[in-house]
Structure 1
């Protein structure tokens, strides 16, 4: 059964928040209750959701696209690759050499226990175009600091990861766990996820090889 974008949104809302009333669904989607009647009727007839009087709508799970369900089950931890790291004392040139030798587009700054930032191929290209001397330039002058870094957690769905890559227009993001040491947050690096990982997952599922 092929669902519209709104029907998919309603399904997600009911699955994550059910039982939930029609008025509450409408409020989350910023539409009127009457505007949802047709969509709710489709989802009810397809036995994707059900409704009980005084209780609201709840999720059944039937009728959903099997491919979408399978992709949603895939987590960052299952699909991530090994990350490339340089210390905070490195130069921009050191990062550029690592990107070239490893044939990757992103390198992380710091240690495995605490990532301080991220540098992409684009960042290094901008610095080079500015006629900067990459050998004498500290990596800190090029990197995006961890306070602004977009990341995924190991248990995060690959659908959410793909959405972040698109929304923030980035090619790669780190997979991290946040730990506290004497009240200070540390970003422990578990792996990395890029558009290549998304493509690899798509190919595996398309060939029916599972995960």
Structure 2
């Protein structure tokens, strides 16, 4: 078995996850789920679908510029956007850093949350941050559900404090009976960032390769730091 070939496969799995995150963003801006229902419900015969928003030219604020955040940023550069980030300082990146998340939200048209979960980031995105993001701003959460104060987000959506949101993670999963499901300007997916057949196969293959190497007395391909 040539386990050395598995690292490129792991990178490919990461690219698949990033593609889904970008797909979530584009679905939000272009209202793709609503457009699908519009056609299926025969509404097109009676009216025109409302105008949507382009990604081009937007200011993107990324909360957490780790491996995933940097991957998202690299892929967004092709859309002619302006990128800034918040969180720990990252050397060697061409993006402006904001030390305060409210300042980042004030800069951004779209705030993408991809920082770690845990006590340090619990409800980092609260009512104050959403208010600063503003009525033309979009929120995308692809990190952990606890990072966003869902009660504050629902309030912001009900009162038009932000323009819309796309969420792949939630404070309580599965999401059942939530008011988030009632908003037409919200895109919801079931914590499915890595949920492709190809990615899950690659994840399993990499886990097995790690186990085989450790049992053979070698270093793991992807050791936990």
TM range (shorter): under 0.3
Q: TM-score, normalised by structure 1?
A: 0.24
Say which one has the larger Rg.
1
**Higher share of residues assigned helix:** 2
Q: TM-score, normalised by structure 2?
A: 0.23
**Higher share of residues assigned strand:** 1
